[in-house]
């Protein structure tokens, strides 16, 4: 596990170590494979050396995998990756230019939004990083549907108003569902719908039968048990008068983390359309200036809050 301001665990996975290399490169401007190898050896500190003559042998293998992962991210971000790898894949340089490519800001925001403890450290410069994720997710899902007609609604914690009012607004916008009704008449709790963003592509006739996507948006690294909890059919059954819509909505799951590649199939099968950090950056085009400024303000403050990397501590 790697959670700032602490160094990664000696047993951290490749994608966690890649985040550590990126963060360090961002801080220092450049980062070489040699420096990364030294850092990994310091992190390890012979933590797990049973049956090995030298832990540096393990770290060298890990390092190869880390730089392969960095190259994968570079390609997956489609021009939005704020780092440059040399041709040998052994040297990383941070690109400190934001005006040319706002998606660099998005990537750095998602990196910080993953590696901070967002349950207690989400607010910086008066902005909540988890709330920004919902608004960013709404914009990106609208882009992903690929139509200028597509619309998005932020439904989660970022949106003010009571749950019933949100459901009424959603049904009105969709032209389906009939409005809010608590079918069980029990107590309503925050985020009962397990829903952050709804995106749809309407027709001019306003009739039912359209593409609708329900998306959950998660910062941090504690989202693994959440991927199956968004159920559009249950949402409409429990919280609307009609208890259903014409066609089932599609599920999507968006995370700030660059997901562990070896579990990609599992995440996407359980969560629906799965968007990790690189996929979000890929579609983070045409952002409004206000959103870009908010993302940059939060990210700069969050980055500045980490003064130094502390030794890994068992938790």
Among 304, 301, 305, 306, which residue's Cα sits nearest to residue 126? 301
CA distance 194 to 253: 11
Distances in Å between the alpha carbon of 241 and those of 36, 172, 177, 235, 285? 57, 12, 6, 11, 37
For residue 38, name the pLDDT band (cuts at 50, 70, 90).
confident
Instruction: Determine if the peptide bond prior to 222 is cis (ω within 30°).
Output: no
Residue 5 in domain: no
CA distance 37 to 14: 13
Write down the mean pLDDT value for the chain.
88
User: Do 147 and 283 lie in a common domain?
Assistant: yes
Residue 241 in domain: yes
User: Do 54 and 159 lie in a common domain?
Assistant: no
Question: What is the extent of the structural domain holding 199?
Answer: 123-288
Instruction: Tokens for 63, please give them.
Output: 């390092």
198 CB-contact burial (10 Å; exposed 0-12 / middle 13-18 / buried 19+)? buried
CA distance 156 to 135: 10
User: Do 127 and 255 lie in a common domain?
Assistant: yes
Residue 168 in domain: yes
pLDDT tens-place string over residues 162-187: 888 999 999 999 999 999 999 887 77
User: Do 199 and 225 lie in a common domain?
Assistant: yes
Q: Which long-range contacts (CB under 8 A, 24 or more apart) does 245-248 make?
A: 245/174, 245/176, 245/177, 245/208, 245/212, 246/176, 246/208, 246/209, 246/210, 247/209, 247/210, 247/212
Among 249, 264, 182, which residue's Cα sits nearest to residue 216? 249
Instruction: Tokens for 315, please give them.
Output: 């938790």
User: Do 89 and 201 lie in a common domain?
Assistant: no
CA distance 281 to 144: 11
Rounded percentage of the chain residues whose pLDDT exceeds 90: 67
User: Do 128 and 276 lie in a common domain?
Assistant: yes
Tell me how far the alpha carbon of residue 153 is from its chain's centroid.
18
The stretch 81-110 carries a mean pLDDT of 90
User: Do 211 and 128 lie in a common domain?
Assistant: yes
Rg (C-alpha) for the chain, rounded Å, is 21
Q: What are phi and psi of 83, to 5 degrees?
A: -135, 155
Q: What are phi and psi of 219, to 5 degrees?
A: -95, 180
Residue 69 pLDDT > 80 = yes
Residue 105 in domain: yes
The stretch 295-303 carries a mean pLDDT of 97
Inter-residue contact 21 to 70 (CB < 8 Å):
yes
User: Do 163 and 186 lie in a common domain?
Assistant: yes
Residue 47 pLDDT > 90 = no
Residue 124 pLDDT > 90 = yes
Inter-residue contact 229 to 182 (CB < 8 Å):
no
pTM greater than 0.75 (yes/no) = yes
User: Do 154 and 269 lie in a common domain?
Assistant: yes
Into how many domains does the chain fold? 2
CA distance 148 to 249: 20
User: Do 98 and 224 lie in a common domain?
Assistant: no
User: Do 105 and 172 lie in a common domain?
Assistant: no
CA distance 286 to 207: 29
Residue 229 in domain: yes
Residue 294 in domain: no
Residue 91 in domain: yes
87 CB-contact burial (10 Å; exposed 0-12 / middle 13-18 / buried 19+)? exposed
Instruction: Tokens for 149, please give them.
Output: 């007609």
Which of 54-58, 191-195, 285-289 shows the lowest mean pLDDT across its residues? 54-58
Residue 45 in domain: yes
For residue 126, name the pLDDT band (cuts at 50, 70, 90).
very high
User: Do 29 and 56 lie in a common domain?
Assistant: yes
């Amino acid at each position: 596990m790697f959670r700032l301001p602490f160094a990664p665990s000696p047993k951290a996975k490749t994608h966690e170590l890649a985040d550590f290399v990126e963060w360090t490169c961002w801080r220092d401007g450049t980062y070489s494979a040699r420096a990364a190898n030294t850092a990994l050896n310091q992190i390890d500190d012979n933590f797990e050396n049973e049956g090995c003559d030298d832990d540096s042998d393990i770290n060298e293998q890990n390092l190869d995998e880390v730089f392969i992962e960095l190259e994968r991210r570079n390609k997956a971000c489609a021009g939005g990756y704020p780092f440059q790898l040399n041709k040998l894949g052994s040297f990383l340089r941070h690109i400190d230019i934001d005006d040319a490519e706002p998606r660099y800001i998005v990537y750095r925001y998602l990196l910080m939004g993953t590696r901070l403890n967002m349950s207690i450290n989400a607010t910086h410069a008066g902005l909540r990083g988890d709330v920004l994720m919902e608004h960013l997710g709404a914009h990106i899902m609208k882009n992903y549907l690929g139509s200028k007609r597509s619309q998005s609604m932020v439904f989660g914690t970022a949106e003010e108003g009571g749950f019933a009012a949100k459901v009424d607004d959603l049904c009105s916008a969709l032209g389906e569902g009939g409005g809010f009704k608590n079918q069980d008449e029990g107590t309503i709790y925050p985020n009962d719908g397990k829903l952050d963003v709804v995106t749809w592509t309407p027709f001019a006739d306003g009739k039912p039968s359209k593409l609708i996507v329900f998306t959950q948006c998660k910062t941090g690294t504690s989202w693994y048990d959440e991927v199956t909890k968004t159920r559009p059919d249950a949402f409409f059954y429990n919280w609307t008068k009609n208890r259903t819509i014409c066609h089932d909505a599609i599920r999507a799951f968006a995370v700030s983390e660059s997901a562990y590649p070896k579990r990609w199939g599992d995440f996407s099968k359980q969560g629906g359309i799965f968007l990790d950090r690189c996929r979000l950056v890929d579609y983070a085009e045409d952002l409004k200036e206000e959103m870009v400024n908010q993302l940059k303000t939060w990210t700069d403050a969050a980055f500045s809050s980490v003064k130094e990397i502390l030794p890994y501590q068992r938790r």
